[in-house]
Amino acid sequence: MSNKNIEEKLSDYIDALNNEHEPEFAVTDSDEELEKLQETVRLVRTLKEPVLPDDDYPKRLAKTVASKIQRGKETGLGKPTKTLSKSIKRILLPMTALAASLLIVVLVNWLGLFNQDVVYAMEKAVAQLSSYHGVLEMRTKNAAGEEWLVRRAEIWSESDKYAIKHDDGTLTVNNGQRKWQVNHENKEVVLLPILPDPTGSSFDLRDEAKRAKQYPHTVIGTELVAGREAIKLAISPPGGEEYYLWVDTETNLPIQLETAMQKALQTTYTFVSFEPNTKIPPEIFAYQVPEGYAVVEKDPGQQVATIEEAAAISGFMPLLPEQAPLRIIAFKDRIVLDYGDTTVMEIIPKGEFKPAPNASLGSAAGGPLEIWYERLRWRQEGLEIQVEGDKRIELAREIAAGLALPDANQDLASKAKVKVPVNMEIVEASQKQVDSGSSPWQLDPLQVSLTFVNLKVTPEGIQGEPQIPMSSFKLVTNNSVEAVVEVEDGPVERVYLKRLVRQDETGIWTVVGYDPR
Amino acid sequence: MITADVYKKAAEGDFDAIEKICLDTWEPLYRFIYYKVQNREEAEDITQETYVKTLKYFHKDKFPQENFLGFLKTVSLNVIRDRWRQKQRRGVSVNLQEINPQEVASDDKQSDIAQRLVLKNALAKLSEEQRIIIDLRIIRGYSVAETAKLVGKTESAVRTAQYRALKTLAQILDDSTERQIGQKRRENIEQ
């Protein structure tokens, strides 16, 4: 077989897998090389997440299996039968292909071919970006239009290594093997855990290129950013606020990001200087303790290859999701599984499980599940598990199969025996107050209930310690929209609350009803 | 929890029992199969075939309640092996009598993690251009035409480059002492 043939066959094989189809390959004894290369392709693909079937697949599967078993019983057990789905596929596959091509046409028109070119060029540039050195400025603007410099950092980045030097001279380095911080003021080098790593730059070039490709976007025009000509793109994540990204016309790399106005604040990240694909001196990522500096170890953890090694270090066996993590980091008291955009952390818990006051509650492994921003936390089989990141629900369900998220359509408030009238103008003004940083207690349904009930006891105002103490209040439901708090003593038995303005962790709670005792 | 009664009913063709078994176990089984075949179409077919073969095999009072998922995984490996051999025109049928329900692929997770590390190390040894092409074509799933556009090469140059990159990668994996893990996995399917 000539190389040209094998190249084409291999390419067809990759295409079939990319399209999630069964590859047509009739391998003969002389195709050993092709077989080996196909195996290598499959191996590389294991780095990707598997593509799951449609939602109705499990039901369809049960139906087909049942009909085959029943038919098998009629015709005698054990006889092989032909796979039913093949005949269905003959009809379904062309339909799926037609649907897919229609989708492509719609997407191309929607995104606009010109936009695609900008984004393609950016993706190409980012894919080819092996390293960079730059100075990133983070500026914040409030709703009144006042702007200030929050921080300025010098960044060196090369594959998974990075070094960030802040304004105050503090240097944080993660060289893939270890992470540390050099603090010149205290003359110390602090060894930090590699994961979870909250330090990384908030303006990650790769992530931005990925998002720009994924979400609908339009070209706004060309502007000068830090003296460079850049194309301004407006990006609209579904269900989210529009934000802007500027792409350098010379290097095709993103150089500025402006977030949407959130909590009355808007942040702009700008690379005021940027050198892509530059040679970074190896000493930048080399771990060196300056003379006279003390080394402070804060259980930095260590990367291990197997779960058994992790268990030997931490002293317990973690519960594992089905998917294999990219990295396992073991600490004396915890194990962290790294899935790229999501981390799973497991510890042996101490004391009672206390969900964050403004978290919503679901259930997992027969107990409460805390849902707080992008984090899920619960206890199972003597361990406390915390899953944070994009794939949190998927991974958490792989550990706790019956994990249930709260149902926001319960209409709990209608059960209240006494309804409390609400003045929306006051509620909206209170929400704005909280957004600007004052009265944060309104984000906690327990605190709001405490104030409400104690004002019922002492209508003239709460002086000193409240008569009904906080220990009498217990959050029984919080589905992120509504909450119910039970009170042990006093004139009120149950308080019903709602997030009337915003139904996320930043929304304030308002009492809408109660059950008298 | 699937009880012995449910298995018995399922083997007799009871729809509710079969549905319970499928809904409780399909996802880990499907993921396991997908991991081996790397495409949805084949993974869906093999998952289905695995249930049919397993349930048909069950005789009265002979159900692997201890590790049903492990049993399913072992059957699925046989189905995969059988299908691949048929493609090589050397049809061999699955012999379910040979399956020992206790002997299951329970060490998958550890070897998967190790395999990922070996693969990542091997990919890191490729040239930058080879790594980009493998990333675009296989990890991100771009077509040859799209990849050619992204890297500024002709389509035929992309095909040649991906062939060479995969050949180098296969060689690196072969040379790696840790290749044993990949080897073990391949033997699981091909033996």
> For the whole model, what pTM was predicted?
0.41
Supply A231's token pair. Answer: 């194309």
Asked if A44 and B139 come within 8 Å (Cβ–Cβ), the reply is yes
Closest C-alpha among A370, A372, A375 to residue A343: A375
Q: Within this chain, do residues A121 and A245 fall inside the same structural domain, yes or no? A: yes
Asked if A65 and B18 come within 8 Å (Cβ–Cβ), the reply is yes
Supply B101's token pair. Answer: 């329900």
SS3 A325: coil
Q: Which residues pair with B86 in a beta bridge?
A: none
A50 part of a folded domain:
no
For residues A230 and A252, the answer to whether their CB atoms sit within 8 Å is: no
pLDDT of residue A318: 92
Give the range of the structural domain holding residue A69, as residue numbers without chain letter. Answer: 57-75+84-109
Average pLDDT over residues B1-16: 82
Domain count, chain B: 2
Residues belonging to chain A: 517
Amino acid, single-letter form, for residue B129: E
Mean predicted lDDT score pLDDT of chain B: 77
pLDDT of residue A235: 85
Name chain B contacts of A23, Cβ cutoff 8 Å. Answer: 39
| Alpha-carbon dihedral A441, A447, A451, A456, rounded to 10 degrees | 160
Name chain A contacts of B112, Cβ cutoff 8 Å. Answer: 46, 324
Q: Within this chain, do residues A512 and A483 fall inside the same structural domain, yes or no? A: yes
Q: Within this chain, do residues B40 and B119 fall inside the same structural domain, yes or no? A: no
Chain A CB within 8 Å of residue B177 CB: no
Q: Is the pLDDT of residue A84 over 90?
A: no
Q: Within this chain, do residues A240 and A177 fall inside the same structural domain, yes or no? A: yes
* Better pLDDT: A450 or A125: A450
Find the CATH number of the domain harbouring B10: 1.10.1740.10
A405 part of a folded domain:
no
Q: Is the pLDDT of residue A119 over 60?
A: yes
* Better pLDDT: A404 or B93: A404
pLDDT of residue A301: 78
Which of B110, B120, B144 minimises the CB distance to A307?
A: B110
Average pLDDT over residues A108-113: 35
Give the range of the structural domain holding residue B56, as residue numbers without chain letter. Answer: 4-98
Name chain A contacts of B167, Cβ cutoff 8 Å. Answer: 37
Which of A11, A47, A323 minimises the CB distance to B119?
A: A47
On the 0-12 / 13-18 / 19+ scale of CB atoms within 10 A, A506 is middle
Q: Is the pLDDT of residue A111 over 60?
A: no
pLDDT of residue A356: 81
Mean pLDDT lowest for which of A68-77, A473-482, B137-146? A68-77
Average pLDDT over residues A78-105: 32
Average pLDDT over residues A107-133: 65
Question: What is the distance in angstroms between the Cα of B61 and the nearest Cα belonging to chain A?
Answer: 16
Q: Within this chain, do residues A352 and A467 fall inside the same structural domain, yes or no? A: no
- In this prediction, residue A100 has a pLDDT band, given cuts at 50, 70 and 90, of very low
Closest C-alpha among B49, B135, B156 to residue A61: B49
In angstroms, rounded to a whole number, what is the distance separating the alpha carbons of residues A308 and B110? Answer: 9
pLDDT tens track for A304-314: 888 888 888 88
Asked if B128 and A83 come within 8 Å (Cβ–Cβ), the reply is no
pLDDT tens track for A171-223: 888 887 788 888 888 888 888 877 666 555 556 777 777 777 777 788 888 88
Mean pLDDT lowest for which of A85-89, A368-372, A403-407, A427-431? A85-89
A456 part of a folded domain:
yes
Asked if B149 and A320 come within 8 Å (Cβ–Cβ), the reply is no
Of the segments A121-130, A391-400, A435-444, which one has the largest average pLDDT value? A391-400
B144 part of a folded domain:
yes
Q: Within this chain, do residues A440 and A509 fall inside the same structural domain, yes or no? A: yes
Q: Within this chain, do residues B14 and B92 fall inside the same structural domain, yes or no? A: yes
Supply A309's token pair. Answer: 């090694």
A95 part of a folded domain:
yes
In angstroms, rounded to a whole number, what is the distance separating the alpha carbons of residues B187 and A379? Answer: 39
For residues A194 and A76, the answer to whether their CB atoms sit within 8 Å is: no
Interface test with B, best of A40, A63, A122, A320 (most B CBs within 10 A): A40
Find the CATH number of the domain harbouring A184: 2.50.20.10
pLDDT tens track for A22-65: 887 655 555 788 888 988 999 899 888 888 888 889 988 998 88
Give every strand in the sheet of A375-380, ordered side by side: A302-304, A327-330, A334-338, A342-347, A383-389, A375-380, A367-372, A360-364
* b/e A45-61 (16+ beta carbons within 10 angstroms → b): bbbeebeebeeebbebb
pLDDT > 90 in chain A, percent: 17
Q: Within this chain, do residues A445 and A465 fall inside the same structural domain, yes or no? A: yes
CA distances for A386 relative to A246, A299, A317, A341, A397, angstroms: 35, 19, 15, 14, 12
Q: Within this chain, do residues A105 and A121 fall inside the same structural domain, yes or no? A: no
Q: Within this chain, do residues A92 and A30 fall inside the same structural domain, yes or no? A: no
Q: Is the pLDDT of residue B95 over 50?
A: no
Asked if B112 and A46 come within 8 Å (Cβ–Cβ), the reply is yes
Closest C-alpha among A143, A150, A371, A425 to residue A262: A143
Domain count, chain A: 5
Name chain A contacts of B163, Cβ cutoff 8 Å. Answer: 3, 6-7, 10-11, 37
A209 part of a folded domain:
yes
Q: Within this chain, do residues A94 and A137 fall inside the same structural domain, yes or no? A: no
pLDDT of residue A492: 93
Average pLDDT over residues A422-448: 84
Q: Within this chain, do residues A271 and A128 fall inside the same structural domain, yes or no? A: yes
Asked if A44 and B56 come within 8 Å (Cβ–Cβ), the reply is no
Q: Within this chain, do residues B116 and B184 fall inside the same structural domain, yes or no? A: yes
SS3 A200: coil
Chain A CB within 8 Å of residue B176 CB: no
B172 part of a folded domain:
yes
In angstroms, rounded to a whole number, what is the distance separating the alpha carbons of residues A233 and B169? Answer: 38
Question: What is the distance in angstroms between the Cα of B98 and the nearest Cα belonging to chain A?
Answer: 15
* Better pLDDT: A122 or A420: A420
Average pLDDT over residues A320-328: 87
* Better pLDDT: A56 or B183: A56
| Helix axes B40-57 and A57-75, enclosed angle (nearest 10) | 40
Question: What is the distance in angstroms between the Cα of B86 and the nearest Cα belonging to chain A?
Answer: 9
Q: Is the pLDDT of residue A449 over 90?
A: yes
Chain A CB within 8 Å of residue B149 CB: yes
Asked if A59 and B89 come within 8 Å (Cβ–Cβ), the reply is no
Name chain B contacts of A86, Cβ cutoff 8 Å. Answer: 45
B130 part of a folded domain:
yes
Mean pLDDT lowest for which of A100-104, A130-134, A509-513, B4-8? A100-104
* Better pLDDT: B135 or B8: B135
- In this prediction, residue B152 has a pLDDT band, given cuts at 50, 70 and 90, of confident
Q: Within this chain, do residues A148 and A277 fall inside the same structural domain, yes or no? A: yes
pLDDT of residue B65: 62
pLDDT of residue A25: 62
Asked if B119 and A46 come within 8 Å (Cβ–Cβ), the reply is yes
Phi, psi of A265 (to 5 degrees): -130, 145
Q: Within this chain, do residues A123 and A250 fall inside the same structural domain, yes or no? A: yes
Q: Within this chain, do residues B8 and B94 fall inside the same structural domain, yes or no? A: yes
Among B79, B98, B117, give the residue marking a domain's end.
B98
Mean predicted lDDT score pLDDT of chain A: 80
Asked if B22 and A20 come within 8 Å (Cβ–Cβ), the reply is no
In angstroms, rounded to a whole number, what is the distance separating the alpha carbons of residues A353 and A349? Answer: 8
Find the CATH number of the domain harbouring B174: 1.10.10.10
| Alpha-carbon dihedral B90, B96, B98, B102, rounded to 10 degrees | 130
Q: Within this chain, do residues B117 and B83 fall inside the same structural domain, yes or no? A: no
Among B61, B80, B98, give the residue marking a domain's end.
B98
Asked if B169 and A40 come within 8 Å (Cβ–Cβ), the reply is yes
Residue of B nearest to A76 (CA): B56
Beta carbon pairs, A and B, within 8 Å: 204
Question: What is the distance in angstroms between the Cα of B60 and the nearest Cα belonging to chain A?
Answer: 13
pLDDT of residue A484: 93
- In this prediction, residue B48 has a pLDDT band, given cuts at 50, 70 and 90, of very high
- In this prediction, residue A263 has a pLDDT band, given cuts at 50, 70 and 90, of low
Name chain B contacts of A391, Cβ cutoff 8 Å. Answer: none
* Better pLDDT: A299 or A412: A412
Chain A CB within 8 Å of residue B90 CB: no
Asked if B43 and A58 come within 8 Å (Cβ–Cβ), the reply is no
pLDDT of residue A369: 92
